[in-house]
Amino acid sequence: MTQTLDVQIAVDGALGSAFVPRYSHPGDAGADLLSTEAITLRAGRRALVGTGVRIALPDGHAAFVVPRSGLAAKHGITVVNSPGTVDAGYRGEIKVALLNTDLDADHEIAVGDKIAQLVIVPVVRADFLTVETLPESVRGDGGFGSTGYAHETGTASA
């Protein structure tokens, strides 16, 4: 069963409840954020787009603003700072830094269009402990690309 969390929300201006984030399907992790602006997102450009939404997260939680897969796959629209982090103490409007990765086609955004998703998560705060050396691990300090690119299937490749 999915846990629920009460999150206080204020929608700016005369937008009304239509702009309150909603989950499209049962079990969805992200609630849709809607644009309060009509803009043309030029090819290869970015824009900060308002949602009219302000929230008060309970302490110990954060919200992440993440791209919508359909916008990304069909139009190359993504969130520049994905995930955008909304801290529990922030009370301003949630805005989305959108980027049009398509270098040839502009993308039109209308008022009320779904532009991103908001994912609410519990947060664990770390107590950072300074040490001289870190414990060993199987991975060690292997970083970007250290595990290779091909998936080992146990079959020989030609």
Q: Please identify, in words, the CATH class of the domain defined by 8-122.
A: mainly beta
Helix (H, G, I), strand (E, B) or coil at 121: strand
H-only helix segments in the chain: 69-75
Each residue's pLDDT, cut to its tens digit, for the chain (158 residues) gives 678 999 999 998 777 788 999 999 999 999 999 999 999 999 999 999 999 999 999 999 999 999 999 999 999 999 999 999 999 999 999 999 999 999 999 999 999 999 999 999 999 999 999 999 999 998 888 787 777 778 777 665 55
Domain boundaries, the chain: 8-122
- The beta strands (E) that lie in 74-144 are given as 77-79, 84-86, 95-100, 107-109, 114-122
